[in-house]
Structure 1
Amino acid sequence: MEDIEIITPEELNKKLEAGEKLELIDVREDEEVAQGMIPGAKHIRMGTIPENLHQFDKDTEYIFICRSGGRSHNVCYYLQDKGFKVRNMIGGMLEWTGEKQF
């Protein structure tokens, strides 16, 4: 298995502040997302990723986010195996210090 590319919360925040257009996918549960998401992130619960594959494009890189980085890592493995470009935000929302949208 290939390693999953990672991005730190700090690196991601810098990219967003620089105005980079990124595809962020938050795979947490509804009640977790209610506590705040990274602005611009799209919410697709981990358990519903397989039925939402049509929403992903193989030419686009996606950054996956969860609470601590574990679930998003699993989603990254799953999607990378299917030929998608993925990156995992390590540390998850527990380490996110940037702004949040509710």
Structure 2
Amino acid sequence: MEIIIIALVVVIGFGLFRYFRQRAYLKTLTEEQFREGYRKAQLIDVREPQEFKKGHILGARNIPLTQMKHRLVELRKDKPVFLYCQSGSRSARAAQLLRKKGYQDLSQLKGGFKKWTGKIK
């Protein structure tokens, strides 16, 4: 029983550590904040191509999370990167990868594309 409790504490502790570390380098923006800044940034949809084709934020480029490592040359480190996916989990993973590769100004859309009410294509 003690081992289960210790394991649970470790798992919860690690999850909290990752959450707070991520908040230090990834800004989660409301739709209003996202709209204010995405035209001056690199707007990246990290969903898969079939999801992107069904609808995406106007002006977004599709670089799926599954291809991100191989397509980093398409992103500039000196400009902000605004990320979104369907709900927010893939954009957070993409931000983690970008951070490791030296990208500094990273933001994601709170709630992802499913919460977006702005213009879509």
| TM-score tier (shorter) | 0.7 to 0.9
Amino acid at match of 1:96: W
1:10 and 1:96 in contact (8 A); partners too: no
Q: Which runs of 5+ in 2 are unaligned?
A: 1-20
Higher helix share: 2
Matching residue within 108, 111, 114 for 1:88: 108
Partner of 1:53: 72
Instruction: Note the C-alpha offset of 1:22.
Output: 2.4
The 1:99–1:43 alpha-carbon spacing in structure 2 relative to 1, beyond 3 Å, is same
83-92 or 3-12, which deviates more: 3-12
TM-score, with length taken from structure 2: 0.73
Partner of 1:11: 33
Partner of 2:3: none
The 1:82–1:99 alpha-carbon spacing in structure 2 relative to 1, beyond 3 Å, is same
Instruction: Note the C-alpha offset of 1:45.
Output: 0.9
Asked which structure has the greater RCO (Cα within 8 Å, sep 6+), the reply is: 1
Work out the number of aligned pairs and report it.
98
The 1:77–1:55 alpha-carbon spacing in structure 2 relative to 1, beyond 3 Å, is same
TM-score, with length taken from structure 1: 0.86
- Aligned partners of 2:118, 2:22: CA distance in 1, in Å? 30
Task: Supply the RMSD in Å over aligned alpha carbons.
Answer: 1.5
Helix, strand or coil: the match of 2:33?
A: helix
Q: Which runs of 4+ in 1 moved over 6 A?
A: none
Q: Which runs of 5+ in 1 are unaligned?
A: none
Amino acid at match of 1:26: D
